[in-house]
Structure 1
Amino acid sequence: MADVPCEQNRLAIAFCHPDLGLGGAERLVVDAACELASHGNSVDVFTAHHDRNRCFSETVGGPFSVTVSGSWFPRSIVNRLHAFCAYVRCILIAAYIAWTAFRQYDVVFVDQVSAAVPVLRLLTSSKVLFYCHFPDQLLAKRRSRLHSIYRTVLDAVEESTTGQAHQLLVNRVFLETFGRLKKRGLVPSVFYPALSLDPDLVHFLNGKHVFLSINRFERKKSLGLAVRAFGALQGKCAEQAEVSHSVLVLAGGFDKRLAENREHFCELQELVQQLGLQDKVRLVASFSDAQRSALLAVACAVLYTPENEHFGIVPLEAMAAGRPVVACDSGGPKETVVNGITGHLCPPQATAFAAAMARLADPDTSAEMGKQARLHVQKTFSRTAFGNKLNGVVQRLAKT
């Protein structure tokens, strides 16, 4: 992408995001809103949920406003139809932007749920930018024939509405998934999320033998893989001094409103007990930004266990802190982790992860990979580069 134009207009930009909580997708939205505001644009964020006690600090008193709309529609129906409800909630947000927001936006930034795109195209004259973190259809498992039909409809809606945006920003997996858009000759821009680096904490308590997992307490994140891999590491390499003094920390987002978060947290505790790792494994729920930075500072490696995950901000955070990553050889990590240089990409098996962890338990190996990881992130994924590129995109989009 070209650099930011020298002469720019002060644009009015709105964000349409389903749930402004804590997570990689939310981090991207917050970073994008902050960066666009820092370039002199007026920015407003619209969302269906925003808990001021469980959010990124920039969303409270930051350089942009946050407005909640559509929260009256449920997040699920009898604990099902989550995707459908997310579609409806984002459509309600889009309608609110069109009818209730008393201003005209030059650009509306939509992410995660593309169903909002045609509503904005129909009801506003704004240019609509859609950021596709990862095609939703690749995350959904077909549990039954009826569910497969349900997903087929939603998948068709996702592809159709995604193609209606004026501008698409995507990860590389996009075109392989949306074949019909590829046949139409649609060429979106590959655009990576950003990361705020905190160099002062990189060296804080460096050299501790802590294996760290950062992810929400959801079953699809495969956190049990980290526990089983750590157990396998203890069993096969117990004589290795660094391994015998190692621990595993599972830290992640935890929403007490969600039954799955509560249930899976208990399931992981039971797994730890079954493997006799009570003194070696700790679960940390809903940790603060300061705790996150401190944990990254003392880790010798970060484990990222989701399979076929979307881009994933955690591997970038880990590498930015000078920590190598052990991740599944699928999805987003294949774009961010340089196998054998900034970390290891492995099959989703406990023995494979344990073998990689054994290598990274060596302080020299971990330090060298961590150094390469940080240089890789600085070169490719800095927030400044992200902000300049994104501002350039919206400036050009507004002029078309």
Structure 2
Amino acid sequence: MVPTVLFVHPDLGIGGAERLVVDAALALRSRGCRVQVWTAHYDPGHCFSETRDSGIPIRCCGDWLPRSVLGRCQALCAYIRIIFLALYIVFLSGEQFDVIFCDQVSACIPFFKLTRNPKKVLFYCHFPDQLLTQRISTLKIIYRAPIDWLEEKTTGMADCILVNSHFTANIFKNTFSSLAHIQPDVLYPSLNVNNFESAIYEDLSDLVPVGRNLVFLSINRFERKKNIKLALQALCVLHGRLNSQDWGKVHLILAGGYDERVLENVEHYNELKDIAAKHEISGHVTFLRSFSDKQKLSLLHNCICVLYTPSNEHFGIVPIEAMYMYCPVIAVNSGGPLESIVNDVTGFLCDPSPKAFSNAMEQFVKNPSLKTTMGKSGHARVKETFSSEAFSDQIYQHICKLTQCK
């Protein structure tokens, strides 16, 4: 029997979580599974191209529900949206399915388990949601308490739990004390390498001034937790270390996912531009919002190094993409990059300080051949450790185990 797998995801945009959902759906379909993706929000103009071009069925329901209340209560609204989506799938969609693959928000799991015909559920934990917010007031603590409790209880109802790194596995164990008996399996995200094979690259002359042949690149959503300002601060320190000739060759491109519906994207984008102006480096920085897949390939092909600035990142797909494109990475020495980047071989792992990052950047300025040597090592590492074949094998095995034990 060919299993039918329904993917339930809260918002099908262009983040790392969405990338994994798309890759998992494609991997299972390549193994003969029937797949559908259900989400509360889907914009064909703001998504990965595979959701438009690969023929994966996308169903959207519940987008009329609010994402926040006056900019607040985002977690509560996300729970309401995903529960509404689950109820619609179970009672109104008429879909027949064998396994539910859900991620990010676990509140939907009981509605697939506590029915007359309970379904097997695979939950992919990118990171515990309760750790993604600060409790800066008593009211916030009270507001989050039932949400945190619900997250832990509903996560434990899944038949199979996967995480994106050994780092996240340890966080999972330390955060969900009542789930100490569960040992989640690690499933590293992978690349659909077909999307990174191109002999034709776009002209970047409109993004990089003439003569700037040492281009550093940051790819991250315009969110404060991504610490993109570290790249600007490091560039400022680098400016003070270089002579005028070398400085004239350096440029930084800050490319990031940007959604006008998200207030933080708008605010932080303007904050970063203000930082660049304050440090008088605006002439050496290009801000690029919501770039295309072709632009990303061209950026990775032409830059000398990628700056990856988040601390304690759950996994981080950008370093994998960069290394596959023969591009070294300078990343913070915590979280997922500790498992993807080999220090001094495929890039540099640094303390999250402008001085440490600028020191690593200066090595590429003084010795541009590092791009070639580290780039080759990074490409080989991705093919060996983060291949789509290994990812496909593992996710298919988990689905088969779930369907066999029904």
TM-score (norm 1): 0.92
Q: Which amino acid aligns with 1:253?
A: G
Q: 1:204 to 1:297 in 2, by over 3 A?
A: farther
2:208 aligns with none
Counterpart contact for 1:14–1:46, Cα < 8 Å: yes
Give the superposition deviation at 1:203: 9.6
Give the superposition deviation at 1:93: 1.5
Give the superposition deviation at 1:145: 2.4
1:293 aligns with 2:297: yes
Counterpart contact for 1:34–1:63, Cα < 8 Å: no
1:340 aligns with 344
Q: Which amino acid aligns with 1:84?
A: L
**CA deviations over 1:130-178 (Å, ceiling 9, x no partner):** 0011122222122222213333332222222111100111132234333
Q: Distance in 2 between matches of 1:290 and 1:187?
A: 39
Counterpart contact for 2:213–2:249, Cα < 8 Å: no
2:16 aligns with 24
2:172 aligns with 177
Q: Distance in 2 between matches of 1:303 and 1:240?
A: 22
Give the superposition deviation at 1:182: 7.4
Q: Distance in 1 between matches of 2:141 and 2:315?
A: 25
Counterpart contact for 2:107–2:154, Cα < 8 Å: yes
2:282 match: secondary structure:
coil
Return 330-339 or 12-21, whichever deviates more. Answer: 330-339
1:191 aligns with 2:187: yes
Q: Of the candidates 375, 382, 395, which is equivalent to residue 370 of structure 1?
A: 375
Q: Distance in 1 between matches of 2:243 and 2:31?
A: 53
How does 1:261-340 map onto structure 2 within 5 Å?
Answer: 261-340=265-344
1:148 aligns with 2:141: yes
Q: Distance in 2 between matches of 1:238 and 1:164?
A: 60
Q: Of the candidates 59, 62, 68, which is equivalent to residue 54 of structure 2?
A: 62
2:369 match: secondary structure:
helix
2:103 aligns with 111
Q: 1:240 to 1:137 in 2, by over 3 A?
A: farther
The CA RMSD over aligned residues, in Å, is 2.1
Give the superposition deviation at 1:329: 1.7
1:226 aligns with 231
**CA deviations over 1:181-227 (Å, ceiling 9, x no partner):** 5764212211011112224459999x941100001111111111111
Give the superposition deviation at 1:109: 0.3
Q: 1:331 to 1:138 in 2, by over 3 A?
A: farther
Q: Distance in 1 between matches of 2:189 and 2:200?
A: 20
Q: 1:201 to 1:339 in 2, by over 3 A?
A: farther
Q: Of the candidates 126, 129, 133, which is equivalent to residue 133 of structure 1?
A: 126
Q: Of the candidates 26, 41, 44, which is equivalent to residue 49 of structure 1?
A: 41
1:251 match: secondary structure:
strand
Counterpart contact for 1:159–1:178, Cα < 8 Å: no
1:76 aligns with 2:68: yes
**CA deviations over 1:204-251 (Å, ceiling 9, x no partner):** 99x94110000111111111111111111111123573x540100000
2:146 match: secondary structure:
helix
1:238 aligns with 243
Counterpart contact for 2:218–2:253, Cα < 8 Å: yes
Q: Which amino acid aligns with 2:349?
A: L
1:354 match: secondary structure:
helix
Q: Distance in 2 between matches of 1:74 and 1:296?
A: 36
Counterpart contact for 2:127–2:172, Cα < 8 Å: no
How does 1:209-224 map onto structure 2 within 5 Å?
Answer: 209-224=214-229
Q: Distance in 2 between matches of 1:139 and 1:202?
A: 39
Counterpart contact for 2:202–2:295, Cα < 8 Å: no
1:389 aligns with 394
Give the superposition deviation at 1:120: 1.3
Q: Distance in 2 between matches of 1:107 and 1:189?
A: 17
Q: 1:61 to 1:131 in 2, by over 3 A?
A: same
Counterpart contact for 2:201–2:298, Cα < 8 Å: no
Give the superposition deviation at 1:330: 1.9
Counterpart contact for 1:311–1:333, Cα < 8 Å: yes
1:120 aligns with 112
Give the superposition deviation at 1:309: 2.0
List runs of 5+ in structure 1 lacking aligned partners: 1-8
Q: Which amino acid aligns with 1:392?
A: Q
How many residues are treated as equivalent by the alignment?
391
Q: Distance in 2 between matches of 1:142 and 1:328?
A: 25
Q: Distance in 2 between matches of 1:157 and 1:334?
A: 31
How does 1:237-256 map onto structure 2 within 5 Å?
Answer: 237-238=242-243, 241=246, 243-256=247-260
Q: Distance in 1 between matches of 2:350 and 2:320?
A: 17
1:363 match: secondary structure:
coil
Q: Which amino acid aligns with 1:391?
A: Y
Q: Distance in 1 between matches of 2:137 and 2:7?
A: 35
Q: Which amino acid aligns with 1:177?
A: F
